[in-house]
């Protein structure tokens, strides 16, 4: 699927979420976040959606999508998306069920457990996930975001995000990455320097990307 088509798809998802806002409880803990990294090797997009249903506060829609492509690449081969319904069974812990997609594995059902801790200046997320298929992947995801105040309007913005996926059958490496962001935050906007370190397949083919990023929180 072409990079431009995938980007348009992500934007459509954003506006579909916007159209459903009447059915969703709005609070600062459940934003839609759209981020772009423009780097030396190419562009990378990330869209996070975490929206709680107004009438069922323990039930939410949770989605993470990542797309990246080299500047001279006509067809983006690096795409990863998951779409889930999530149920909070105790404070900070949710069970997720939905589908997971990559170009190499296709569309697969999956389940995961997600732990989140959200405070004024720090967010921590840990989420193990497994595919429900014959050739399943087991995945671990973690993120820490730190936003200390500089003054009433500005904050430092920093984020460390990582993922590691391997085959359940033989333990072979499937996909892994580390994302680093360092910059500033003003209101609903974050921007600064970013780096993506990606590895693919059993041979751990490495693709790194360094550049600047910008992110916005939408429809809070």
In the chain, domain spans: 31-218
Closest C-alpha to 62, from 22, 105, 110, 3: 110
Question: What tokens appear for 109 in the block?
Answer: 């059902």
- Give the per-residue pLDDT at 23: 45
**Residues 6 or more apart from 139 whose CB is under 8 A from it?**
112, 128, 129, 130, 163, 164, 165, 166
CB 35 within 8 A of CB 62: no
The C-alpha atoms of residue 32 and residue 14 are separated, in whole angstroms, by: 8
Given the candidates 3.40.309.10, 3.90.550.10, 2.40.160.40, 3.90.700.10, the CATH classification of the domain at 31-218 is 2.40.160.40
Going by C-alpha positions, the residue among 133, 205, 141 that lies closest to residue 174 is 205
**Tokens at 99, concatenated:** 């589908």
pLDDT of residue 164: 97
What CA–CA distance (Å, rounded) separates 37 from 171?
31
Pairing of the two strands 189-200 and 106-118: unpaired
The pair of three-digit structure tokens given for residue 130, joined into one six-digit string: 């497994």
In the numeric block, which tokens belong to residue 150?
């500089």
pLDDT in tens, 141-174: 999 999 999 999 999 999 999 999 999 999 999 9
Where the chain has pLDDT below 50, the residues are 1-29
Is 51:28 a contact under the CB 8 Å cutoff? no
Tokens of 152: 């009433």
> For the chain, what is the radius of gyration of the CA atoms?
17
CB within 8 A of 32, min separation 6: which ones? 14, 17, 47, 48, 49, 50, 51, 217, 218, 219
**pLDDT score for 105:** 87
Distance from C-alpha of 6 to C-alpha of 45, rounded to nearest angstrom: 10
Q: What is the pLDDT of residue 78?
A: 86
């Amino acid at each position: 699927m072409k990079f431009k088509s995938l980007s348009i798809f992500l934007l459509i998802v954003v506006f579909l979420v916007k159209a459903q806002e009447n059915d969703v409880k709005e609070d600062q803990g459940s934003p839609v976040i759209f981020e772009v990294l423009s780097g030396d090797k190419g562009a990378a997009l990330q869209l996070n959606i975490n929206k709680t249903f107004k009438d069922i506060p323990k039930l939410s829609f949770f989605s993470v999508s990542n797309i990246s492509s080299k500047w001279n690449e006509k067809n983006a081969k690096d795409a990863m998306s998951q779409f889930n319904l999530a149920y909070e069974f105790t404070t900070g812990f949710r069970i997720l069920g939905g589908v997971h997609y990559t170009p190499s594995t296709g569309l697969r059902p999956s389940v995961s457990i997600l732990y989140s801790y959200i405070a004024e200046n720090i967010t921590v997320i840990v989420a193990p996930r497994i595919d429900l298929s014959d050739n399943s992947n087991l995945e671990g995801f973690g993120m820490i975001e730190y936003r200390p105040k500089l003054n009433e309007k500005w904050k430092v913005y920093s984020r460390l995000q990582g993922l590691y996926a391997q085959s359940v059958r033989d333990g072979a490496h499937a996909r892994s990455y580390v994302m680093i962001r360092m910059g500033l935050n003003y209101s609903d906007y974050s921007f600064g320097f970013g780096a993506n370190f990606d590895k693919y397949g059993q041979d751990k083919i490495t693709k790194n990307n360094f550049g600047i990023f910008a992110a916005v929180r939408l429809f809070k």
